[in-house]
């Protein structure tokens, strides 16, 4: 049988890589005695696949994956047993058994929402809400380009087409919180850090930021989250 579930990766685990996440999930499920289905071949491994990878340095509340099991088990029991073996800072939720012909998560993935917490350095000029809103408006009117490594080498990729929405959620004393909604599909998506970098440059300010993925959105019917506009 196949189950789909979400794993949550807390801030304390933000710096572990996607490969480390895979290994952590596999070890936890083995410790829990869950009936994982293994691949064939010389080096069999548990059959897990992910909607997308959580970037190193990013925490997340919504990383969806699917796992093949060799025996029937209820989604509730799967989550309960797995969580009993999970390390601090990671847990599972929202498991369900997809219907026949459901397809892959990566093919259905459409967008993601992010929380970007910015901390300005003390030597930066004060950043009030009006200044922040104006700078953000200018950023969204401009070109944002990143250098992306591909099979054919490094090439520039425009980020503005991937941005669906950006808003200022909070402004504090030397801090700000942005909400960013961006396209995310198997063949690529928004690099949220590029938005934060462009905003700092527009403000002529120095600072750091932390990114948390808060939701993913998928195409089609069923229990997976969909964009409100769809």
For 122-132, the pLDDT digits (tens) are: 877 778 899 99
User: What pLDDT, on a 0 to 100 scale, did the predictor assign at position 186?
Assistant: 77
Task: Name the phi and psi angles at 126, rounded to 5.
Answer: -55, 135
CATH architecture of 2-103: 2-Layer Sandwich (3.30)
Q: What is the pLDDT of residue 40?
A: 87
Per-residue pLDDT of the chain (230 residues; tens, 9 = 90+): 999 999 999 999 999 999 999 999 999 999 999 999 998 888 888 999 999 999 999 999 999 999 999 999 999 999 999 999 999 999 999 999 999 889 899 999 999 999 999 999 887 777 889 999 999 999 999 989 887 777 777 888 889 999 999 999 999 989 999 999 999 987 789 999 999 999 999 999 999 999 999 999 999 878 899 987 76
CA-closest candidate to residue 145, choices 166, 165, 120, 162:
162
Query: Using one digit for the tens of pLDDT, what is the confidence trace for 56-93?
Result: 999 999 999 999 999 999 999 999 999 999 999 999 99
pLDDT value of residue 222: 80
pTM: 0.92
Angle at 107 between CA 106 and CA 110, to 5 degrees: 80
pLDDT for the residue 230:
60
pLDDT at 161: 92
Q: Does domain 109-218 have CATH number 3.10.510.20?
A: no
**Structural domain boundaries in the chain:** 2-103, 109-218
- From the centroid of its chain, how far is CA 16? 13
Contacts of 102 (CB under 8 A, 6+ apart): 4, 222
* CATH topology match: 2-103 vs 109-218: no
CA distance 101 to 114: 30
Closest by CA position to 211, among listed 63, 53, 60, 16: 60
Q: What are phi and psi of 199, to 5 degrees?
A: -70, -45
Q: Is 214 exposed, middle or buried (0-12, 13-18, 19+ CB in 10 A)?
A: middle
């Amino acid at each position: 049988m196949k189950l789909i579930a979400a794993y949550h990766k807390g801030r304390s685990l933000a710096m572990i890589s996607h490969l480390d996440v895979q290994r952590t999930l596999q070890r936890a499920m083995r410790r829990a005695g869950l009936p994982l289905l293994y691949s064939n071949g010389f080096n069999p491994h548990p059959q897990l696949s992910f909607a997308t990878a959580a970037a190193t340095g990013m925490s997340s509340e919504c990383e969806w994956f699917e796992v093949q099991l060799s025996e029937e088990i209820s989604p509730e029991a799967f989550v309960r047993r797995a969580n009993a073996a999970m390390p601090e800072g990671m847990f599972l939720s929202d498991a369900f058994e997809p219907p026949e012909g459901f397809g892959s998560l990566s093919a259905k993935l459409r967008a993601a929402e992010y929380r970007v917490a910015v901390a300005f350095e003390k030597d930066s000029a004060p950043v009030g809400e009006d200044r922040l809103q104006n700078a953000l408006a200018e950023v969204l009117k401009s070109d944002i380009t990143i250098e992306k490594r591909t099979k054919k080498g490094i090439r520039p990729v425009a980020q503005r087409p991937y941005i669906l929405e950006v808003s200022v959620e909070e402004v504090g004393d030397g801090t700000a919180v942005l909400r960013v909604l961006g396209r995310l599909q198997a063949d690529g998506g928004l690099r949220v850090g590029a938005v934060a970098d462009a905003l700092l440059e527009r403000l002529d300010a120095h600072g750091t930021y932390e990114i948390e993925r808060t939701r993913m959105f998928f195409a089609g019917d069923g229990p997976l989250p969909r964009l409100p506009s769809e």
